[in-house]
Amino acid sequence: MKTIFIKKSINKRRLITALIITSILGTVTILESCNKLVEDPTSVVVSTQFYKTQSDAIAAVNAVYNTLNASPGDFPMYGRQLNLLTDNASDNHNFSPSNTNPDVRAMGTVTYVSSNGRILKNWQQHYFGINRANIAIDNIALIDASQFSNAALKDRLINEAKFIRGLLYFNLVRLFGDVPLALHNPTSTDLRSIQVPRTSKDSVYAQIIQDLKDATNLPKSYSGSDIGRITSGAAHSLLAKVYVTRRQWSNALTELQAVLNGGYNYALIPNFKDVFQKATKNGVEHIFSVQFNGNGGEANSVQYLSSSFTSFNTGTFPIDIISDSSVVKIFADDDTRKAVTFYTTQYNPANGQTVVFNNPYTPYLNKFVDYSVTPLNSQNLSSINFPVIRFAEILLLQAEVLNEINGGPTAEAYTAINQVRHRANVPELTKGLNQAAFRDSVFLERRKEFIQEGQRWFDLVRKGGNSLVDALHKIAAKSAASPKDTLFPIPLTEIQLNPLLKQNPGWE
Amino acid sequence: MKKHFRNGVWFLLLFPILTFAQQTPEPLINSTLTGTIIDSRAKTPLDGATVHIKGTTHEVLTDSKGKFSFRTGQKLPFTLLINYVGYQPLEIIVNDPVVTITLQESQTQLNEVVVVGYGTQRKSDISGSVASVPKNVLSQPTASFDNLLQGAVSGVSVTQSSGQPGSTATIRVRGGNSISFGNDPLYVIDGFIVYNNNSYTNSGATSGATVNALSTINPSDIESIEVLKDASATAIYGSRGANGVVLITTKRGKKGRDEISYSGYYGVQQATNKKKLLNASQWASLVNDINISDNVPKTYTDSAIAALGEGYDWQSAGLRDGAIQNHELSFSGGDDKTRYLVSGNYFNQEGIVLNTGFKRYSGRVNYERNLSDRFKISVNIFGSSSTQDETSNANGPAFATLLQTVPLVPIKNADGSYNTNNPYISVPTNPLQDITATTNRSYITRTLGNFSAEYKILQDLKLKISAGADLINTKQNYYAPSYTTAGYTPQGYGSVGNIKATTWLNENTLTYDHIFGNDHFLNVIVGYTTQSGNDESSVASAQKFPNDLTTYNSLGSASTPLLASSNAHSWTLNSWLARASYSYKHKYNATISARADGSSVLGTNNKWGYFPSIGLSWNISEEDFLKSNNTISNLKLRLSAGQTGNSGVPPYSSLSTLAPVNYYFGNPLTLVTGIAPTQLANPDLKWETTTQYNAGIDLSIIRNRVNFSVDAYYKKTTDLLLNVPFPVYTGYVNIVKNVGSVENKGFEFSINSENIKTQNFVWRSTLVFAKNLNKVLSLGPGILNFFPTAPIGQQSPVIVQTGLPVGTFWGYTTDGLLTGEDIAKGTPLLTGVPQQEGDRKYVPINGHTSVTNADKHELGNAQPKFTFGFSNNISWKKFDLSFLLQGSYGNKIFNQYQQLLEKPTLSLNASATLLDRWSASNPNGTVPRATNSPVPQIIDRYVEDGSYLRLKNISLGYSLPQSVLSRIRIKQVRVYVSAQNLFTITSYTGFDPEVNFYDGDNTKQGIDMGLYPSVKNFTAGLNVTF
């Protein structure tokens, strides 16, 4: 049992009261004045703080390059995403049994529809890069020249961004035809104010050519820590390819001559295998490559094309496979490109055994397998660059352009194509071909040379006529191909959000 | 600036110590009084009743025998005021120095007090919808208190994300209002506002399900849980009230004798079911059938198949009987001036999957002291240290992967070591070893302390100031040794992560509580509060370890460091709040409340939001025409309307932020950093507004033995904080904007009845039922629908579409298998995949002649048609039995794991359902013919009915009788046995119909990835009070 007595202590109470009131007032006042609602982030940069210095400008341009090799949580644009359209949807590749995504499989069988997620991803990744280029171009221009260590650097950075913008629009205009031409970061989040129609192909090309012409002011080469950046040679080369695509043959020739005679010293790497090796990356043949590095540990540099080898276990399948044996049969047996392009065996250094892969999907694709990694089946650590333009293509473009300009192949045209053939250890091209036959030979050479390099679908469309559909119909799995396939559908959600966009013919 | 604030808090915290120096002078004694207070019917003593001499400050408590005693300066006779919870207050004039006083149990619940936001209210005067969690539900064995809400309160649905100990649960009060951000209720623990943020316990270093931040709170500390559901009740929480508010009050000391209590239980847990998989010979036959489709020779001869037999049961090898135990010791007591409770808790739950579990140590001090009769201070401090071991998701959910291991492969070698010679996987590892050898652990330390001081400025005017902090420190470790699947390629992969998250809260309220005349009851509260939080996190990872000895504790010994990351956020919420409750004779009641919230996370143009509400109620039973009614003891009509908000976007959502990205240049290649835009500025970003209307009726009949409560509501959430798709050509895929609206409407009821009550036998039941209809009304201009992002290589099985509920599944309808006849007559086929007899028959819509993406449509949704809970308490003499049946009806689950298990491959085991596959010899098979790795399409087959009825908990206890107790001088002893999840009736074929893999993402509800089997347990426990 407890008994409690309470006696008030007046003095104590006063003291307490005084203390409380003081502390209340103190606390409230402090809180009122301190807990401001304005956000002042310390972990992220806000755009108003940025684009002020040289290093900001460099970082802004690096971010543009980043869109070429990285897309967190998805395939990188160069390194698989684009290949799903330009190779899987061509007569070179098909889907692999390891592809679980129906959208990926639909690319292989040319049964994709406008809601295909892989088409949307390509559209998205290209415009990501374009937007970053737009931001870099617009904002670097506003940075005071005094911020830069040398006067040329500011222009160089802008022109690097312009090249990538040009490259990405060039891809888009070939994949989709007319596309929205965005040249600035949006200033509004209001849907209505940013809905735009498609810009005509001609206007898009005009912008591409302008951007690439500006990029021809870039340095001829880089040294040290800048190797891998875009050169004026790359700009001339891509410009040549744009003109070829536009069938502006003499403009194309001018650009090709700038590449060939401009003192760049581009050449073919003697051994075709070394075009796709870590140790020989950024060599004399590589005019512009997307850089991959597997040893930095960064998860964002994953070269998925290297996953055409993933296991010594014959029960598992690589990420991409050939369409059928016809793509292998185009090669002569002693064509050195054949063994570089395909494999049927893998030597396992861990146990000294050689595994033979023999099933309806073999041979498997080989170019991007990184033989420098250990263990060999950890191919997500691949360091194989993706060549966007290499010198072999310049030679083949030269052969093609000369053939078109002169109504038939010239000796120079033969020399150009035969350089590529020499390296591949195949005989010189038959003399005396007419224009059409020579043209076919160039396209066939391009197919052999560039398997897995994101060229085939573009080439088939560029060749014109029914080339694409005819080629696809030769593959049993691609019987669904039809003339509408010469352009990919504008992604469905993009049209839903922006009804001013009209769908491509046949895809409505 | 923040430092000043903290100094202020420290000052307040230290303040009580200064005042302990009081001394009590000796009083004059004029009389003594002793007495006993007993229950009027049972004649049992009442322990802890307060006895107050009217007109004085003298107050004493009865002891465990109901006895009290006064030595007082007053002279007899005097008037005593006696109060005891659950009994009618008594005012009695005493003439004798020894008395026995009987108290009558409250006939009405009108005098019951209910905890509401920023105070308490007489239950009779409440206009809003407030539900209390029944007491017996609170004693279930569980790691985290959010599980206790399941089936206990109408209108609250709880879905455990998986059976993993310490895993998260999805809690929805009256459905989900938001699509992209914030659907969790607000938790208020002893007045401290906790907006549960599981990112404070997940740095990203580990791999697996989200660690539940609420599991750091010790459920056995909880005295009561109230759930505020309608706007009248929640609007006082303003911009965070839209998803309901869960008010938690922890146990505290009572006036009376000091008590020491121990409670503990120990039990075992088992998997409730296993997946039926193919055995070795069945799998070999499957391989042969794939060979037939591939047109290649069969791999196994008939005799080889027969010889394979059962093979190896990988599933069972990964499971164990897990122990679960909980021990709690508490000291509590109090006197006239001081109440205290000190408790310590140890909880340890082994997971039923090897190398998983959850362990927690926690302690609490609740202290309250009246420094004077005007001034009271209290401190609640809670601390806990938790450890969680999870299965890893690094190579797909580890347990799910285990089940897919080919049953031909031995689990262990003859010498007991793990067999890594598995010809069906890419790397020489063992999936069981992956589970046992991988470290995937989180340590969470949490301290939640709150100090408050209450001062009665006038008799009716009270000032309350509180200040507190919630500190969460999380450390996470991950290591995949070089001999595990995740560690093989990187040659050992280690990662550590840290998060330090701090939330500060200061609340200042003035309460005016006055009775005008005898009939007008007025309660007014106004206040200013400010809450701020900041979190800092970092993750470091490395690979290529020279050995597996030092693991994550020596990242420096690895030769390839990975890019480290760190992050920090801070936020502030400043608020003004006010509420006035008025009651006329407890008959007509009105409550008006309003809150103004200024939130830092919103756009500069819309920092402040205003949230008003009104609630009206009418106690019809207090009217003369019902007052004398013998059947109806209470009848009340409630109406409310109001607006609440949700500002659940992360900090910096309205700013145009940039983030680092990387590229390589140079020879050799070196990493360079780029800075890239991540989002567009949106200075107009504001809170979501939920407008809610509620009408309710409370009815009690037969002297309150049966209580009904019915509520109907309509909620419309507008200006959704929606992560809307944006035209991608702009360079942005999504932006967060205030567009679109969602509605939730429904009704809920609860019946609470005392079915039987005799001297020895009491049976009470509670039935709760809730139905909610959710619908997306709009997603903003130009957007009809969107698919939430699916993991790479998968298609989204869910869609968010106007006119449909959130969590709608989207895919193909199928109609059995294609027959030869179908092919012959040109039945529409799925494009993209060559189809033939024995393949799945997809059904086109709108008369399409082939089946494409355009033929996908709604396949049901994850929202239940209704949920219910039925709990019972039966006591007979000293025995007590309680059980809780609980369930959900009409919700669909996308059984993605079954989809995976039904994919025939040459390298993974598959579901036993494939035994009924079509083949030339089984032309009536129900499952498609075996082909090699067919595309896993989203089809109706895998959208399963998730309805279930479950015996969630059953418990049988025995309390020692008083006669024995008094002999051994113990106040109370109860022993019990209980079981959880003893049975579940469901047609769902996965581990457990209660599953939600993407628990943090409202758009991906009801997806099952086979993360963890569901668990039942049997426990035995003991409660002793000294």
In a domain, B912, yes or no: no
Domains of chain A are: 50-215+480-508 (1.25.40.890), 304-384 (no CATH)
pLDDT at B387: 93
In a domain, B882, yes or no: no
pLDDT at B98: 81
Mean pLDDT on B787-807: 87
In a domain, B94, yes or no: yes
* A311:B426 CB<8 A: yes
pLDDT at B22: 39
Chain mean pLDDT for chain B:
88
In a mutagenesis test of the A interface, which of B663, B778, B784, B835 is the best target, namely the one with the most A β-carbons within 10 Å?
Answer: B663
Mean pLDDT on B470-479: 94
d(CA B433, CA B281): 24
Residue type, A213: K
Q: Is pLDDT of B1012 > 90?
A: no
Strands B813-817 and B98-103: unpaired
d(CA B431, CA B1009): 17
pLDDT at B287: 92
Nearest Cα residue to B794 out of A117, A111, A379, A69: A117
Number of neighbouring beta carbons within 10 Å of residue A427:
10
Q: Is A185 on the interface with B (CB under 8 A)?
A: yes
Q: Is residue B168 within 8 Å of B997, Cβ to Cβ?
A: no
Please report which confidence band the pLDDT of residue B220 belongs to, taking 50, 70 and 90 as the band edges: confident
* B936:A5 CB<8 A: no
Q: Is pLDDT of A284 > 80?
A: yes
Residue type, B535: D
To the nearest whole percent, how much of chain A has pLDDT over 90? 67
**pLDDT tens readout for residues B699-736:** 988 888 899 999 999 999 999 998 888 899 999 988 88
Minimum mean pLDDT range among A6-10, A255-259, B16-20 = B16-20
Q: Is residue A360 within 8 Å of A323, Cβ to Cβ?
A: no
In a mutagenesis test of the B interface, which of A47, A386, A508 is the best target, namely the one with the most B β-carbons within 10 Å?
Answer: A47
Please report which confidence band the pLDDT of residue B378 belongs to, taking 50, 70 and 90 as the band edges: very high
Q: Within the 86-115 window of chain B, which residues sit less than 8 Å (CB to CB) from chain A?
A: none
Q: Is pLDDT of B5 > 60?
A: no
DSSP states of A37-104 as a string? -----SSSEEGGG-S-SHHHHHHHHHHHHHHHH--TTS--IIIIIHHHHHTTTTTSEEE-TT---HHH
Q: Residue A103: its chain B contacts at CB < 8 A?
A: 795
Minimum mean pLDDT range among A62-66, B32-36, B608-612 = B32-36
How does DSSP classify residue A159?
H
Strands B879-889 and B866-876: antiparallel
In a mutagenesis test of the B interface, which of A9, A17, A30, A184 is the best target, namely the one with the most B β-carbons within 10 Å?
Answer: A30
* A226:B665 CB<8 A: yes
d(CA A142, CA A184): 14
pLDDT at B110: 52
Tokens of residue B582, six digits:
């008025």
pLDDT at A27: 59
pLDDT at B730: 94
Q: Is pLDDT of A418 > 90?
A: yes
DSSP states of B971-985 as a string? SEEEEEEEEES--EE
d(CA A369, CA A349): 15
Read off the CATH number of the domain in which B69 is found: 2.60.40.1120
Chain mean pLDDT for chain A:
89
**pLDDT tens readout for residues B674-702:** 999 999 999 999 999 999 999 999 998 88
pLDDT at A232: 96
* 3-class DSSP assignment, residue B440: strand
A445 Cα to chain B: minimum distance (Å)? 30
**pLDDT tens readout for residues B44-89:** 788 778 888 877 777 788 887 788 887 777 777 778 888 887 677 7
- The torsion angle over the Cα atoms of residues A150, A151, A156 and A157, rounded to 10 degrees, is 80
Q: Is residue A480 within 8 Å of A110, Cβ to Cβ?
A: yes
Q: Is residue B188 within 8 Å of B117, Cβ to Cβ?
A: yes
Give CA A457 to chain center in angstroms: 15
To the nearest whole percent, how much of chain A has pLDDT over 70? 92
Q: Indicate the angle between helix axes A435-449 and A391-405, nearest 10 degrees.
A: 170
Tokens of residue A95, six digits:
């889907």
Q: Is pLDDT of B111 > 70?
A: no
DSSP states of B575-636 as a string? EEEEEEEEEETTTEEEEEEEEEEEETTS-GGG-EEEEEEEEEEEEGGGSHHHHT-SSEEEEE
pLDDT at B107: 53
**pLDDT tens readout for residues B968-984:** 888 889 999 999 999 99
Minimum mean pLDDT range among A416-420, B795-799, B999-1003 = B999-1003
Tally of domains in chain B:
2
Please report which confidence band the pLDDT of residue B282 belongs to, taking 50, 70 and 90 as the band edges: very high
Q: Is residue B357 within 8 Å of B165, Cβ to Cβ?
A: yes
d(CA B552, CA B550): 7
Minimum mean pLDDT range among A7-21, B144-158, B628-642 = A7-21
Strands B813-817 and A342-343: unpaired
Minimum mean pLDDT range among A26-35, A438-447, B138-147, B357-366 = A26-35
- Determine if residue B975 is left, alpha or beta; phi over 0 gives left, psi from -120 to 50 gives alpha, anything else beta: beta
- Give me the residues paired with residue B349 across strands: B324, B358
Please report which confidence band the pLDDT of residue A230 belongs to, taking 50, 70 and 90 as the band edges: very high
In a domain, B749, yes or no: no
In a domain, B831, yes or no: yes
Please report which confidence band the pLDDT of residue B2 belongs to, taking 50, 70 and 90 as the band edges: very low
B289 Cα to chain A: minimum distance (Å)? 15
In a domain, B850, yes or no: yes
Number of neighbouring beta carbons within 10 Å of residue B927:
21
**pLDDT tens readout for residues B616-669:** 999 998 888 887 888 888 899 999 999 999 988 999 999 999 999 989 998 888
3-state secondary structure B705-756: CEEEEEEEEEEEEECCEEEEECCHHHCCCEEEEECCEEEEEEEEEEEEEEEE
Pure H helices in B372-412: 398-403
Q: Is pLDDT of B6 > 80?
A: no
Q: Is residue A195 within 8 Å of A500, Cβ to Cβ?
A: yes
How long a stretch of residues is chain B? 1026
pTM above 0.90, yes or no: no
In a domain, B61, yes or no: yes
Please report which confidence band the pLDDT of residue B422 belongs to, taking 50, 70 and 90 as the band edges: confident
Mean pLDDT on B606-625: 91
Q: Is pLDDT of B152 > 90?
A: no
The residues, ordered by sequence, that sit 6+ positions from B469 with a Cβ below 8 Å of its Cβ are: B9, B447, B448, B449, B450, B502, B503, B504, B505
Cis peptide before A363 (omega within 30 of 0): yes
Q: Is pLDDT of B577 > 90?
A: yes
Mean pLDDT on B278-300: 91
pLDDT at A160: 97
Greater pLDDT, B37 or A413: A413
d(CA A16, CA B372): 10
Q: Is pLDDT of A6 > 50?
A: no
Q: Is residue B505 within 8 Å of B194, Cβ to Cβ?
A: no
Q: Within the 732-751 window of chain B, which residues sit less than 8 Å (CB to CB) from chain A?
A: 732-733, 735, 737
B74: containing domain: 30-103
Please report which confidence band the pLDDT of residue A24 belongs to, taking 50, 70 and 90 as the band edges: low
Tokens of residue B356, six digits:
């998983």
Domain boundary among B855, B874, B907: B855
Domain boundary among B855, B886, B917: B855
d(CA B938, CA B896): 9
Domain boundary among B823, B855, B887: B855
In a domain, B80, yes or no: yes
pLDDT at A25: 58
Number of neighbouring beta carbons within 10 Å of residue B51:
24
- Determine if residue B190 is left, alpha or beta; phi over 0 gives left, psi from -120 to 50 gives alpha, anything else beta: left
Cα three-residue angle B278-B282-B283, rounded to 5 degrees: 70
A505 Cα to chain B: minimum distance (Å)? 18
Closest residue to A132, CB basis, from B15, B676, B791: B676
Q: Is residue B767 within 8 Å of B870, Cβ to Cβ?
A: yes
Number of Cα atoms under 13 Å in the Cβ half of residue A452: 27
The sheet with strand B657-665 has its strands ordered as A45-46, B657-665, B670-677
**pLDDT tens readout for residues B303-345:** 999 999 999 999 999 999 999 999 999 999 988 889 999 999 9
Q: Is A495 on the interface with B (CB under 8 A)?
A: no
